[in-house]
Chains A and B, each alone.
Chain A
Amino acid sequence: MTKNQRLVYIALLASQAVVIGLVERAIPSPFFFAPGAKLGLANIITVMALYTLPTKDTIKVVVIRLLLQTLLGGTLSTFFYSASGAALSFIGMWFIKLLPQKAVSLIGVSATGAVLHNVGQLLIASVIAQTFSVMLYLPVLSLIGILTGIAIGITANYLLTHIERLHYYMDLRTLKRDLI
């Protein structure tokens, strides 16, 4: 990947994540019984970035997405929620991805990301509300999170194997890692 290609690729991923996030916010949440739960479609992009880009560039994608999403209709408090969720879920996915690919697939990575996203958000919520009991909501959110995480993992896997360019980038990345 040349420098320009990578630059454009990062920008494309970030903007796609923002658009997916906005579209997701426009459709009503299918989880009416659990306020606050959402599909987390934007996580497709994070997972794809994680598998096709170096860690440094993946962080760039996540940060750009966060900032743009906040500017396009977020507030300071939603920024804190999504920032802590995104940070925790990124760290978790990064660690899970260190495991051998034979053992853990995209499904495990994205399910971890979904659950840790909820953990991060609820941690901030419990700090703001100054009561740890907000965490009692975690089982509801993470049950839904695990299910959507599995679906997101399948989707991302489908994209990575069927879109030729992504497939190529992924091979490039694994090749480079094996050489080092």
Chain B
Amino acid sequence: MQAFLRIIKPGDLLLIVVLLIISFLPFGIFYLQSQSDGDRIAVISLDGENIETVNLSAHPNHDIFNVETASGETNTIAVSDGTLRISSATCPDQVCVRTGFIEHAGETIVCLPHRLVIEIKAESEDPPQDIDIISSFIHFH
């Protein structure tokens, strides 16, 4: 601890605060964006292509289905009580399974080995102009 206090400089603390703010920036953007309260739609896309949508707000009961990639790998998706998760997958890292349940707008499950993305979007009456901002951001990078 003494060694730590001797090394650390005031600029470091300032820098750490700035880094913390930077790292919570995406949170702020998505919070502003998810203010709308409409139906929550889970959009399942494979390799950038939209293959299935599930309306979580209107989903009455439990549902389990498989998504198969072109190379025969599968992800099993379980929907229950307005939440969604990947219950099992044939990918090597299992990050998607460990992500667990998602339910709020803006939350995602990503299975990179299978290039599978599940994203919950809020459907509202307003024109979704924020989507343009985000897509332009992605194309920018």
Give residues in A with beta carbon < 8 Å to B: 35-36, 77, 96, 99, 102-108, 111-112, 115, 118-119, 123, 125-136, 138-139, 141-143, 146, 150, 153-154, 157-158
Contacts of B45 in A (CB 8 A): 130
> Can you name the residue of chain B whose Cβ is closest to the Cβ of A106?
B7
Q: What are the interface flags for B36-68 relative to A under an 8 Å C-beta threshold, 1 for contact and 0 otherwise?
A: 000000000100100000000000000000000
Give B3 Cβ to nearest chain A Cβ, in Å.
7
* Additional A-B contacts beyond A36-B95, A105-B12, A142-B23 (7; CB < 8 A): A77-B112, A107-B12, A125-B112, A128-B112, A133-B30, A142-B19, A153-B7
Tell me if A125 and B15 are in contact (CB < 8 A). no
CB distance from A73 to the nearest CB of B (A): 13
Which chain B residues lie closer than 8 Å to A119 at the CB level?
22
A-B contact pairs, 29 of them (CB 8 A): A35-B93, A35-B99, A36-B95, A77-B112, A104-B9, A104-B11, A105-B12, A107-B12, A108-B15, A108-B16, A119-B22, A123-B141, A126-B141, A128-B112, A130-B48, A130-B117, A131-B117, A131-B138, A132-B134, A133-B30, A134-B110, A135-B26, A138-B23, A139-B23, A139-B24, A139-B26, A141-B23, A142-B20, A146-B16
Question: Main SS of chain B's interface residues?
Answer: helix
In the assembled complex, the Cα of A153 lies from the Cα of B15 at a distance in Å of: 13
Q: Contacts A115-B22, A125-B112, A139-B27; is A108 near B141 (CB within 8 Å)?
A: no
Q: Shortest CB–CB separation between residue B42 and chain A, in angstroms?
A: 12
Whether A104 contacts B106 by the Cβ 8 Å rule is no
| Nearest-Cβ distance from residue A167 to partner chain B, whole angstroms | 15
Question: B138 contacts which chain A residues (CB < 8 A)?
Answer: 126-127, 130-132
Identity of the chain A residue whose Cβ is nearest the Cβ of B3 in the assembled complex? A154
Contact status B98-A125, CB under 8 Å: no
Query: B8 at interface (Cβ–Cβ under 8 A)?
Result: yes
Q: Are the CB atoms of A99 and B115 closer together than 8 Å? A: no
Q: Total interface residues on B, using CB and 8 Å?
A: 37
A-B pair count, CB < 8 Å, reads 108
Query: What's the Cα separation between A157 and B9 when bound, in Å?
Result: 13
Contacts A134-B108, A138-B23 given: A107-B7 contact, CB under 8 Å?
A: yes
B112 lies within 8 A of A136 (CB): no
When C-beta atoms are compared, the residue in chain A nearest to B99 turns out to be A35
Quick check: A102 and B9 within 8 Å, CB to CB?
Answer: yes
Contacts of B30 in A (CB 8 A): 133, 136
Contact check, A112 vs B134: say whether CB atoms are below 8 A apart: no
**CB nearest neighbor in A for B30:** A136
Please report the C-alpha to C-alpha distance between residue A130 and residue B141 in the assembled complex, in whole angstroms. 11
User: When chains A and B are docked, how far (Å) is the Cα of A118 from the Cα of B4?
Assistant: 24
- Distance between Cα atoms of A146 and B108 in the complex (Å): 24
* CB atoms of A108 and B9 under 8 A apart: yes
Could you say which residues of chain A place their CB within 8 Å of the CB of B16?
Answer: 108, 111, 146, 150
Could you give, for residues 20-36 of chain B, a 1 whenever the CB lies within 8 Å of some chain A CB and a 0 otherwise?
Answer: 10111111001000000
